[in-house]
């Protein structure tokens, strides 16, 4: 399977859905918004974009199956599985805040082999395929080499539905506030991860996430030379609901703080 060719075919598919999402900005009426769960919003924009992506990616790789956020298609396991978030940062989109994205990953026999994050407003496409490195709009990218932690700019996502570990989270937040260049919360985990991959952020951590939030961005980071783990330094970041992603120069320091709080 020619992953570079497939990746180059996925890019225009994602850009097309990105144009649709961008043209709907500010057009969604209150009655068109549903609440899937606590602080989890969805509209026809998410669902339509997902349908567009599923149809086009299914044609690109006949027989492939899908794991998607909005359940517009039956989620299935298979040798070739697309993991899709059609609009990461839905709340930002609905409130007309400028950070939201599309996230896509392709898994082959349970291993991610391709990842793509498209930041819709800036029309920035971050992507990677296995063994091919990582790119932003055609240009190679690498994680930063800033160190130590006191020199790093970090990103996070606030808990918005699972508050069971919020005190531990606040402890980590305080430490990083005191011992870094600062923290940012953009509202799209996929964009946070893409920004780690290209060196804009030096590290990112969050809990309460799903596979479709992180699959694409985490893969891009690894192809860009970064590290991605769960809060214990293990590999259960895709389905385990917690992730730490960083450049190798600060990842150990970040993990020590996070493990100390959440361990």
Per-residue pLDDT of the chain in tens (263 residues, 90 and over written 9): 999 999 999 999 999 999 999 999 999 988 888 877 666 778 899 999 999 999 999 999 999 999 999 888 888 889 999 999 999 999 999 999 999 999 999 999 999 999 999 999 999 999 999 999 999 999 999 999 999 999 999 999 999 889 999 999 999 999 999 999 999 999 999 999 999 999 999 999 999 999 999 999 999 999 999 999 999 999 999 999 999 999 999 999 999 999 999 98
Length in residues, the chain: 263
Both tokens assigned to 25: 């900005």
So what's the pLDDT on residue 193? 99
pTM of the model: 0.96
The DSSP H or E segment spanning 168 is helix 166-178
**Tokens 């919360």, residue located:** 185
Domains of the chain from N-terminus onward = 3-140 (3.30.540.10), 149-262 (3.40.190.80)
Distance of CA 105 to the CA centre of its chain: 10
DSSP state of 86: E
Both tokens assigned to 97: 């805040």
Both tokens assigned to 42: 């969805």
Euclidean distance between CA atoms 176 and 172, whole angstroms: 6
SS3 111: strand
Euclidean distance between CA atoms 114 and 107, whole angstroms: 7
So what's the pLDDT on residue 215? 98
Compute φ and ψ for 176, nearest 5 degrees. -70, -35
CB-CB contact of 91 with 163 (8 Å): no
Both tokens assigned to 186: 């953009």
């Amino acid at each position: 399977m020619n992953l570079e060719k497939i990746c180059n075919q996925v890019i225009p598919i994602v850009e097309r859905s990105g144009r649709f999402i961008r043209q709907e900005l500010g057009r969604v009426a209150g009655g068109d918004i549903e609440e899937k769960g606590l602080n989890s919003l969805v509209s026809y924009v998410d669902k339509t974009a997902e349908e567009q992506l599923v149809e086009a990616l299914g044609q690109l790789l006949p027989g492939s199956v899908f794991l998607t956020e909005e359940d517009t298609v039956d989620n299935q396991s298979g040798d070739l599985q697309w993991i899709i978030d059609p609009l990461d940062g839905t709340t930002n989109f609905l409130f007309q805040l400028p950070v939201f994205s599309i996230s896509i990953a392709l898994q082959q026999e349970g291993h991610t082999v391709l990842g793509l994050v498209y930041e819709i407003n800036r029309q920035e496409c971050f992507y990677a395929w296995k063994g091919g490195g990582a790119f932003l709009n055609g240009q190679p990218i690498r994680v930063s080499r800033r160190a130590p932690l006191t020199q790093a700019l970090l990103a996070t996502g606030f808990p918005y539905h699972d508050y069971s570990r919020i005190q531990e989270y606040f402890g980590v937040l305080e430490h990083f506030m005191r011992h870094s260049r600062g923290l940012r919360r953009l509202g799209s985990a996929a964009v946070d991860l893409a920004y780690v991959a290209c060196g804009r952020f030096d590290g990112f951590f969050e809990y309460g996430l799903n596979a479709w939030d992180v699959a694409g961005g985490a893969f891009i980071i690894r192809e860009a030379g970064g590290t991605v783990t769960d809060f214990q330094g293990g590999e259960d970041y895709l389905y385990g609901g917690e992730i730490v992603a960083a450049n190798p120069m600060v990842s150990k320091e970040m993990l020590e703080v996070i493990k100390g709080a959440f361990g």
